[in-house]
Amino acid sequence: MTAEIQQTRRTFLKGSVLPVFGTMLCGDMILAAPEDEKPQPDVLSSIERNVPLMRRSEWTVVAPRLDRMRKAGRFHRLTIHHSGSTKAVHTIKNAVIHDLDGVLTSHRQRRYGDIGYHFIIDYAGRVWEGRSHAFQGAHVLGENEGNLAVMLLGNFDKQKPSEQQLASMYKTIHALRKQYVIPSKNVYGHRDLGASACPGKHVYSHILKLRKIASV
């Protein structure tokens, strides 16, 4: 991996909360030469069997900057985030797409190659495909290696997730853990890995429950 690295430039915010999408975002390293995206493992169809999955093409036409992303190794952990800042209770598709655009724009302004998260879950329980699994996420400063990123739209210090959103979170985590053989102890909230309140107390309590589930 290191042999591929031509240049490393970390883009990050100093521990603060973003004004609009408030997770502590932790950037893409800019490195390897561009390469074609690998075919996706059947993780997407595995998720799709259990929850409504919206493919990337359904919400954006913005192409990822492959030269700014690092090829993924084996995923061995998974981190849950929230978008933070404001509450989000949208169930209408276009309103959610507007939110997703906001996250993507914010990440691209920070010179990330793409939206930092692999999956985003909205208040209606839809799961939106984000960054390709061919690449590392950009979501926890210094902890992106082998770390899948799942983000829930909303601020879960200020609101509770809807039943549908929570159910989709559990199903998505289950599918990802099964696909990548991730033990339950390796399911984190952002706050476990960095100085952040993310994903908020009303989601973090579920992460703590998940950790008690017997490992695969």
Question: Given the rule CB under 5 A, which residues bind Zn ion?
Answer: 23, 81, 190, 198
Q: How far apart are the first and last CA of the chain?
A: 28
32 Cβ contact partners less than 8 Å away, ≥ 6 residues apart:
4, 5, 6, 67, 70, 71
Cα separation of 54 and 4, whole Å?
33
Task: Decide whether 81 or 126 has the Cβ nearer to Zn ion.
Answer: 81
Say how many residues make up the chain.
216
Cα separation of 110 and 102, whole Å?
13
Phi, psi dihedrals of residue 129, rounded to the nearest 5°: -70, 125
Distance in Å, CB of 117 to Zn ion, minimum:
9
Distance in Å, CB of 204 to Zn ion, minimum:
11
Distance in Å, CB of 104 to Zn ion, minimum:
16
Task: Decide whether 23 or 165 has the Cβ nearer to Zn ion.
Answer: 23
Distance in Å, CB of 191 to Zn ion, minimum:
8
Task: Decide whether 32 or 194 has the Cβ nearer to Zn ion.
Answer: 194
Task: Decide whether 23 or 162 has the Cβ nearer to Zn ion.
Answer: 23
